[in-house]
Amino acid sequence: MAILEVKNLKKYFPVTGGVFLRRTGWVYALDDVSFALNKGETLGIVGESGCGKTTLARCLMGLYDPSDGQVIIKNQVISSLNSQQRKELALNLQMIFQDPFESLDPRQTVKQILEEKYIIHGKNSGNLDSTINQLIKRVGLLPDMLSQFPHEFSGGQRQRIGIARAISLEPEIIVCDEPVSALDVSVQSKILNLLLELQQTMGLTYIFISHDLSVVKHVSDRIAVMYLGKIVEMADADDIYTNGQHPYTHALLSSIPVPDPKSGRNRIVLKGEVPSVENPPAGCNFNTRCEYVQTICLEKEPELLGNKDNPNHLTACHLFHPPIR
């Protein structure tokens, strides 16, 4: 059963100019995005910078109201909720931010940071000190650290504090907005393993946003590939890696580093510039960089559809291609 549904989600930002700052156009940050997320599942969202990943995350959290479409969590449309209802929804929906230093208040101790959610939501009855001690242990830190400030920790430790804050009220869904991209490679695997462990013990559902396909593969059940505000391919994680169909997915896969320098793997270098989100091309958004472009690609936007061999492997492309070997 779907715990979260996104239906035809669009988010446009106005572009203004001139002396009177009149609207001169729109930035099409999200353009008709749809998917469903099942309880206990991890959906990876990948794509290069500017494809709309973070805008999607903020729409899911209710920080942005959509220009069109719906975000539905447990049969509740987020944009239709009042402030009190959104506060209640926050008990089931939390976020882990990309930069663990910027997302933590430098003037508060770790204990104050973790206590804040309990106090705001009226969950501070009983022995709150004991609850905080158990929470900090759960993410691999020591209770002695609760009196310290964020600047006294390493990047990995700060992210553990951010994770502790996100799980403090035992939510069902957590949006992870590039939670390991600001960390050293040696620390990334520890944080990813912590997230997987918490998912198993708490029954969490993740939306995991990243630009790194190798990281997403490690944690995701399904992967959605985004390009210029649209989902261009979505399938099971293993299927994306072994049978990726969209040319953009091929390029992303070819960019994953391999440990063997003599592997002979060919890197696909996309030509041309990423189109402007203010003036996307007609037809397929990827037609300005695609080596397989056809006349129909310039005229008609492809639909996100399955194929006869695998109806659950969705691709928005007029011509499927063999996977990269």
pLDDT at res. 24: 83
pLDDT at res. 79: 83
Residue 178's nearest CA partner among 34, 6, 54, 56 is 54
pLDDT at res. 171: 93
Long-range contacts of 305-313, Cβ-Cβ distance < 8 Å, separation of 24 or more: 307/245, 310/235, 310/239, 310/243, 312/235, 312/236, 313/233, 313/234, 313/235, 313/236, 313/239, 313/243, 313/245
pTM score, whole prediction = 0.90
Which 3 state secondary structure label does DSSP give 132?
Answer: helix
Give the count of beta carbons closer than 10 Å to the beta carbon of residue 48: 16
Stretches in the chain below the pLDDT threshold 70: 125, 259-265, 320-325
What is 75-116 written as a DSSP string?
Answer: TEEGGG--HHHHHHHTTTEEEE-S-TTTTS-TTS-HHHHHHH
For residues 52 and 30, give the distance between their C-alpha atoms in angstroms, rounded to a whole number. 6
Residue tagged 């580093």 (tokens) = 257
pLDDT at res. 322: 37
pLDDT at res. 221: 94
